[in-house]
């Protein structure tokens, strides 16, 4: 029923409520019933709401066309008419780090660019008070870590610094280019996933990586046949260049490594795939967002309408994180959906850095206040565009109280409606 309501809303937006209510329309959708059922089964097999387990949502897009092949939640329509897959705005946690990484590479940084990687990092005073901490205390033994390793280990202290260096307004531009449409405020906390987005949007971001940097518009309807026999196609396939192909290729390679040996390794089902886990403060939201050449899928797990902490699940026990809760759902579903055929990533190109870059759409940090506003900032230790000092890339002025005074992986936010 959730998907049917989604389709009905699209039809009303296009043809008006009166025409749709009259009936007589034959509507052809993109939904793959086999994948939809596999998604429901994967959630049911791994979570038991009757035993107190949280709910879940799964969205799958075809990276090449934007076709919505699966879109479902584990709650029944009669229990909750709030569509978790397309309306459930939740914090994406570390799945958002892919957007920060993409911004850095688009500015010409290398995956081997190194940053200090302490276990915790005080928030610069111009952004408020508090401490950024790494989940499970990840830090580097040698005191620094390159961006690829920081991605595979999901190191918060590195990505907080990186977000300031590239400029959070630039991160927001990249998020828009990759498919995020929800409200973003370009706060430093967003580099760790403190924004609120839907599973549909996250699936779209990862589809952009899978599709070589081409952003697709999600579509649910392939055609509508009217009573007089006329045929309309209200949602044609729409592709737009979101990020450069070489940047998408390099991020793809890094996220494939994450599936093979990073925090997302528990999602590996044997096919070429890339992905990223996400776990927010509490934890109240846990994610696995990933893709293959054929499918981009986001899995979210949490309690609808609240930020209730997930204490345990029947499958994962008390080990609550994306790798232990969402990844097994993603793995079971994707393995079943692909069957015996995987497919390979085609057309990956070498990463060129700034060489030959016509227009990145972003400007380097180091001379910004962390929001992308010019201030003559101090630059990052290794990652700043023009700065020569400092440890965070922060400028000399900024917006006070922009960051909560908490210690967290990803800070809490108001409950969803």
Q: What are 290-348's pLDDT values in tens digits? A: 999 999 999 999 998 888 988 888 888 887 888 889 999 999 999 999 999 999 999 99
Residues 227-252: tens digit of each pLDDT: 999 999 999 999 999 999 999 999 99
15-19, 77-81, 285-289, 397-401, range with the lowest pLDDT: 397-401
For the residues 373-402, what does the mean pLDDT come to? 30
**Residue 127: predicted pLDDT:** 87
Per the structure block, which two tokens stand in for 345?
A: 């990533």
Is the per-residue pLDDT at 59 higher than 70? Answer: yes
**d(Cα 145, Cα 295) in Å, to the nearest integer?**
31
Residue 156 makes CB contacts below 8 A (sequence gap 6+) with 94, 121, 132, 133, 134, 135, 192, 409
For the residues 394-399, what does the mean pLDDT come to? 27
CA angle 322, 301, 80 (to 5 degrees): 175
The larger pLDDT score, comparing residue 355 to residue 265, is at 265
**Residue 269: predicted pLDDT:** 98
Is the per-residue pLDDT at 373 higher than 60? Answer: no
**Residue 352: predicted pLDDT:** 93
pLDDT > 70 in the chain, percent: 82
Strand, coil or helix: what is 389? coil
212-221, 293-302, 319-328, 363-372, range with the lowest pLDDT: 363-372
**d(Cα 229, Cα 48) in Å, to the nearest integer?**
46
Domains of the chain with CATH codes: 26-408 (3.40.710.10)
Per the structure block, which two tokens stand in for 39?
A: 């998604």
What is the residue-averaged pLDDT of the chain?
84
**d(Cα 38, Cα 65) in Å, to the nearest integer?**
21
Determine contact, residues 64/216, Cβ cutoff 8 Å: yes
Main-chain dihedrals φ then ψ at residue 226, nearest 5 degrees: -85, 170
Q: What is the full DSSP assignment across 209-261?
A: HHTTTEEE--B-EEEEE-TTS-EE-SS---EEE-S-HHHHHHHHHHHHHHHHH
pTM of the model: 0.85
**d(Cα 406, Cα 130) in Å, to the nearest integer?**
5
**Residue 306: predicted pLDDT:** 84
Residues 247-273: tens digit of each pLDDT: 999 999 999 999 999 999 999 999 999
Model confidence band, residue 76 (pLDDT cutoffs 50, 70, 90):
low
């Amino acid at each position: 029923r959730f998907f049917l309501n989604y389709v009905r809303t699209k039809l009303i937006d296009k043809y008006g409520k009166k025409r749709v209510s009259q009936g007589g329309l034959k509507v052809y959708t993109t939904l793959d019933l086999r994948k939809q059922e596999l998604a429901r089964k994967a959630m049911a097999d791994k979570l038991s709401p009757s035993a107190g387990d949280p709910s879940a949502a799964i969205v799958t897009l075809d990276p090449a066309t934007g076709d919505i092949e699966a879109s479902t939640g584990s709650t029944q329509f009669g229990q909750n008419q709030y569509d978790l897959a397309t309306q459930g705005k939740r914090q994406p946690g570390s799945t958002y780090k892919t957007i920060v990484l993409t911004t850095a590479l688009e500015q010409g940084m290398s995956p081997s660019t190194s940053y200090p990687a302490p276990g915790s990092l005080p928030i610069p005073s111009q952004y408020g008070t508090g401490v950024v901490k790494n989940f499970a205390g990840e830090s580097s033994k040698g005191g620094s870590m390159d961006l690829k390793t920081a991605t595979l280990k999901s190191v918060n202290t590195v990505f907080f610094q990186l977000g300031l260096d590239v400029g959070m307004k630039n991160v927001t531009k990249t998020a828009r280019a990759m498919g995020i449409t929800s409200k973003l405020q370009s706060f430093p906390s967003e580099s760790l996933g403190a924004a609120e987005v839907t599973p549909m949007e996250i699936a779209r971001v990862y589809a952009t990586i899978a599709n070589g940097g081409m952003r697709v518009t999600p579509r649910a309807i392939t055609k509508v046949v009217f009573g007089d026999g006329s045929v309309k196609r209200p949602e044609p396939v729409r592709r737009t260049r979101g990020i450069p192909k070489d940047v998408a290729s390099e991020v793809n390679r890094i996220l494939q490594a994450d599936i093979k040996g990073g925090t997302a390794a528990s999602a590996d089902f044997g096919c070429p795939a890339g992905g990223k886990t996400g776990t927010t403060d509490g934890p109240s939201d846990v994610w696995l967002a990933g893709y293959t050449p054929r499918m981009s899928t986001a899995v979210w797990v949490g309690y609808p309408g609240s930020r209730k902490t997930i204490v345990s699940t029947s499958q994962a026990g008390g080990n609550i994180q994306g790798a232990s809760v969402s990844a097994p759902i993603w793995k079971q579903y994707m393995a079943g959906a692909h069957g015996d055929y995987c497919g390979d990533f085609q057309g990956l190109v070498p990463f060129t850095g700034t060489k030959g870059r016509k227009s990145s759409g972003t400007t380097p940090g180091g001379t910004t206040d962390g929001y992308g506003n010019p201030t003559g900032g101090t630059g990052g230790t290794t990652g700043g565009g023009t700065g020569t000092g400092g440890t965070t890339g922060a400028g000399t002025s900024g917006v006070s109280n922009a960051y909560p005074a908490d210690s967290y992986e990803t800070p809490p936010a108001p409950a969803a409606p």
